[in-house]
Structure 1
Amino acid sequence: MAKIAYILLCHKDPDAIIKQAERLTAVGDYMSIHFDASADLAHFTRIRDALKNNPHVTFATKRIKCGWGEWSLVEATLYAVQAAVDAFPRATHFYMLSGDCMSIKSAEYAHRFLDDNDADFIESFDYFESDWIKTGWKEERLIYRHWFNERAQKKRFYAMFELQKRLGLKREIPADIQVMIGSQWWCLRRQTIEWVLDFCKRRRDVMRFFRTTWIPDETFFQTLVRHLIPEEQIRSRNLTFLMFTDYGMPVTFYNDHYDLLLSQDYLFARKISADAQDLKRRLGLLYAAKGVQFQISNEGRSLFNFLTGRGRIGRRFSTRFWETESTLGRERELLIVVCKKWHVAKRVLERIRQTTNVPAIEYVFNEEDTPLPALGGIEKTLGKRTRHRRALMRMLFDYFETDKLIVCMDPANLDLLNDFASDRSTTRILEIECSFTDEYLIGHAMRVGLAGDQTSMETLQRLLPTIRNDMVFESDAIRDAQFENHGRMREQALPEDNADVLAQFLNIAPEKAREIAQTDYLFAD
């Protein structure tokens, strides 16, 4: 059975560290602690005194003053790992933690998971080929030497960089290693850890190289594990659930995140707020619990992106010049059916096809598999269609040899509606207003990845008002745009009223509009 030695790097909050060590070792696991040498000595003394009689706790043989982005973080980890290897011969796995991490599964679940998955869990992506580094330096982290801390000694850090650059003092990466990159929060098997420690003793050239790289905690273990362990024994993911905001800051979890955290496919979460005392209490009790069943839905990231994205209104980037300067054609009419329930819009479109000769295309900017003619590649992906929307629509007008065309769009496509409405052509918008039951909203949340089959009903009930308000917001935004030719069909309206709107939208006789509006299954779910 798996026994975990937790490698804890910390620098503050001694009481929380003591509680964390007591919780994680109470069920038979181990912990090796490195407490930053630049932190308060009294705090370290308090931790040592509180845990000195716990045989499942040890301390790094040497304390290092750690700085973000420095080799010192890796060095501190190695000292803590070596102490754990020496002190705990029965440990089968070594798991990196910080003081802000907490378990989100029981020890029973964690041990069974590691027993069932004989592999090393560490994010490990090719340094140069992957897009793990989104902005900032890439090659410069490795080929130049970095002796100073960018945050503490900014002037010296950049002065030495510029000097090396001017003098052409680039260096070679050790020839036999492929540099990898990933999160520092890993879980490695004992044999892997022993091989890494042995490699550190044998390969002083590699150690010298990494000592002066920048942010080596994202590359050192990731590179060595890939170098030493067969690929099929590595899972390129970590077991600690963490997310970052658009500004590169870690997302913090609070008391009301308990259910969300338990449903994620991870063993730990980072980072837990120091003020989330109830969350810490509940998670602490959970680790020692027996027989707990976990429903894994794993919707955390998509849910976070959905909720944080509500505040972003408008375009992030300016429209490309070939879009703004082009036009669909002054004599053409683009008719847009806007509806959140795509199946309702598709039924309306089908009835329009049956009663008119106007070409109609379904959600061309929302569904990748919308049937489209071959248009030279512009139709291949949603990204291309959206970027070159006017060019795409001109080609569709030409393909169908028509001056009137109908398409469907989701209400979220406000930027597209604004763009087409500003064109020299005539644009008419038909918004179809539907009723949304709780059952429909739950299904919608599952379809778009905000929830899964295992998401608890409590979580869904808390999510439903946000989804409902989001749909109301999208409809209000369309109305606030005050489009010149904007009509609305309503599920709750009489067929006669909807027929009037349809007749104006399609510019057809009232009798034909009534044929469409009186279809009894239009709004059925």
Structure 2
Amino acid sequence: MARIAFILLCHKDPKGIIAQARRLTATGDYVAIHFDARANPKDFEEIRQALLDNPGVVLANRRWKCGWGEWSLVGATLDTARAALEAFPQATHFYMLSGDCMPIKSAQYAHGFLDAEDCDYIENFDFFESDWIKTGFKEERLIYRHWFNERTRSKLFYASYELQKRFKITREVPSDIQVMIGSQWWCLRRQSLEKVIAFCDSRPDVVRFFSTTWIPDETFFQTIVPHVVPKKELRARTLTYLIFTDYGMPVTFYNDHYDLLMGQNYLFARKISPEAIRLRERLGALWAASGVHFPISNEATGLFRFMTGRGRIGRRFAPRFWEVDGSLGRQNALRLVVAKKWHVAKRLTEAIRRHTDIPAVDYLFNEVEAHLPDLGGVETTVSKREHHRRALLKLLFEQFESNRLVICLDPSALHLIQDLCSDKADTRVLLIDSHFDDAYLRGHIRRVGLAGSETSAEVVERLIPTVRADLEHEAERLRDADLDALQSIAPWRPADDNAAQLAQFLDVTPEMAHQILAAEHLFSD
């Protein structure tokens, strides 16, 4: 059975650290503690005295003064890992934790999870090719030397960087390693950690290189582990659940997040608020529990993104730089069918294709299959279409040999709608209004990933009013956008009114509009 040695990096809350160590060792696991040398010496002494007689606890031989973005965090981890390897010969896995982490599964579940597959868990994405780094320094992290802490000595940090940049004082990455990047919260098997330590002892040049990179805790282990462990034995994920805000700060969890956290496919979570006393008590008791069933839903990240995104004006469909001067042409007529219920819009475009000679495609910026012709490859992925949307639409006009085109868009894509309406082409919008009953909303919540198959009905019911308001708000935003040509149809309006709106939208006769709208079950869910 797996026995875990937790490598615990901490700098505050001695009582919480003591409780964490006692809790984790009570189930037969181990804890190796590094307490920041910058912290209060009295706090460290309190920890040392309280855990002195616990055979499952060891303290790192050296206490580093740790700083964000510095090598000191990696140095502290390495020294603590060495202490754990020596002190706990029966440990099979070594799991990185911080003082803000708490278990969201039982020890019984965690041991079974690790026993189920002989592998290591560590994020390891290509440093240069992946988009793991969203903003700020990228290559600069490696090719320049960083001796100063960016947060506490920012003037020296940036002065050093500017001097190296000005005089082109750069360096090469060690030629025989591929730099990888990922979260610092990993879980490695004993033999893998021993290989990492052996590599460090035999390759001081690599250690020296990383010791002056910026934020090496995101690259050092992530690079060395794939270098010494076969790829088939690696899982590029962390077992510690954490979410980051748009500002790069970790999301903090509180007392009402217990059920949500239990449903995530992770063993621990970070960060748990110090004020969330009840949550800490429940999670602490959970670690020692047995026979607990954990229905995995993984809805937390989707819920967070949804809730924080509400009311925000996105920039997803802002014009790309190569499209600023582009135009679809004054001679072309573009018609935008905007509907939240995609099946209704697709029935309408199918009827338009059947009854008229107007080319009509479906949600070409959302779905791969959208009734598109062969366009030489630009249509093969949704991302390609979005990146080259004006070029794509021009190609469609040419391919269909028509100066008219109907496409479907989701009302959430307001900036795309506004962007296309500002084009020189004759662009009109048809909004298909909808009523969102509870049954539809339950399905929508699951379709967009806000809830999984294991999500409780109670959680889904709590989401329904919020999601309904959000969908209704999307339609209101479209109406408030003051578009020059906006028509709308709805299932509750008289057939003649809908036909008049559609006729104006498509430039067809009212009789033809009636035929199109007579499509079977057009508005049905």
Q: TM-score normalised to the size of structure 1? A: 0.92
Which residue does the alignment assign to 1:42? 42
Which residue does the alignment assign to 1:265? 265
* Paired residues of 1:6 and 1:31 also in contact (CA < 8 A): yes
In the alignment, structure 1 residue 142 sits paired with structure 2 residue 132: no
Gaps of 5+ in 1: none
* Paired residues of 2:334 and 2:404 also in contact (CA < 8 A): yes
Which residue does the alignment assign to 2:91? 91
Report the Cα offset of residue 149 of structure 1.
Answer: 2.1
Which residue does the alignment assign to 1:33? 33
Task: Please give the alpha-carbon distance, in whole angstroms, between the structure 2 residues aligned to 1:161 and 1:519.
Answer: 66
Identity of aligned residues (%): 61
SS at 1:361 equivalent = coil
| CA distance 1:25–1:331, shift in 2 (3 Å) | same
Which residue does the alignment assign to 1:294? 294
* Paired residues of 1:496 and 1:517 also in contact (CA < 8 A): no
| CA distance 1:178–1:104, shift in 2 (3 Å) | same
* Paired residues of 1:71 and 1:211 also in contact (CA < 8 A): yes
SS at 1:95 equivalent = strand
Report the Cα offset of residue 304 of structure 1.
Answer: 2.5
SS at 1:91 equivalent = coil
Which residue does the alignment assign to 1:361? 361
Query: Map of 1:61-140 to 2, 5 A cutoff?
Result: 61-140=61-140
Query: Map of 1:483-522 to 2, 5 A cutoff?
Result: 483-519=483-519, 521-522=521-522
Alpha-carbon deviations, 1:415-456, whole Å to 9, x = none?
A: 232223233443332211122222322222222222222222
Which residue does the alignment assign to 1:422? 422
Which residue does the alignment assign to 2:10? 10
Task: Please give the alpha-carbon distance, in whole angstroms, between the structure 2 residues aligned to 1:143 and 1:397.
Answer: 48
Report the Cα offset of residue 161 of structure 1.
Answer: 4.1
* Paired residues of 1:495 and 1:518 also in contact (CA < 8 A): no
Equivalent pairs counted in the alignment come to 525
Task: Please give the alpha-carbon distance, in whole angstroms, between the structure 1 residues aligned to 2:496 and 2:281.
Answer: 60
Which residue does the alignment assign to 1:453? 453
Which residue does the alignment assign to 1:412? 412
| CA distance 1:345–1:28, shift in 2 (3 Å) | same
| CA distance 1:389–1:187, shift in 2 (3 Å) | closer
SS at 2:487 equivalent = strand
Report the Cα offset of residue 97 of structure 1.
Answer: 0.3
Which residue does the alignment assign to 2:237? 237
| CA distance 1:212–1:346, shift in 2 (3 Å) | closer
Which residue does the alignment assign to 2:219? 219
- Select between 46-55 and 244-253 the one with higher mean Cα deviation: 46-55
Task: Please give the alpha-carbon distance, in whole angstroms, between the structure 2 residues aligned to 1:174 and 1:476.
Answer: 56
Which residue does the alignment assign to 1:196? 196
Which residue does the alignment assign to 2:57? 57
**1:275 corresponds to which letter in structure 2?**
E
| CA distance 1:168–1:332, shift in 2 (3 Å) | closer
In the alignment, structure 1 residue 256 sits paired with structure 2 residue 271: no
Which residue does the alignment assign to 1:304? 304
* Paired residues of 1:260 and 1:459 also in contact (CA < 8 A): no
| CA distance 1:236–1:397, shift in 2 (3 Å) | closer
- Select between 54-63 and 369-378 the one with higher mean Cα deviation: 369-378
Which residue does the alignment assign to 1:185? 185
Report the Cα offset of residue 20 of structure 1.
Answer: 1.6
Report the Cα offset of residue 159 of structure 1.
Answer: 4.0
- Select between 398-407 and 185-194 the one with higher mean Cα deviation: 398-407
* Paired residues of 2:503 and 2:509 also in contact (CA < 8 A): yes
Alpha-carbon deviations, 1:179-200, whole Å to 9, x = none?
A: 3322111111112222333333
Task: Please give the alpha-carbon distance, in whole angstroms, between the structure 2 residues aligned to 1:203 and 1:388.
Answer: 47
**2:214 corresponds to which letter in structure 1?**
W
SS at 2:34 equivalent = strand
**1:108 corresponds to which letter in structure 2?**
Q
Which residue does the alignment assign to 1:274? 274
Which residue does the alignment assign to 1:20? 20
Report the Cα offset of residue 114 of structure 1.
Answer: 0.3
Gaps of 5+ in 2: none
Report the Cα offset of residue 108 of structure 1.
Answer: 0.9
**1:255 corresponds to which letter in structure 2?**
N
Report the Cα offset of residue 258 of structure 1.
Answer: 2.1
- Select between 324-333 and 15-24 the one with higher mean Cα deviation: 324-333
Task: Please give the alpha-carbon distance, in whole angstroms, between the structure 1 residues aligned to 2:168 and 2:426.
Answer: 61
Alpha-carbon deviations, 1:118-174, whole Å to 9, x = none?
A: 111111233344333333333443344433322222333344445555666544544
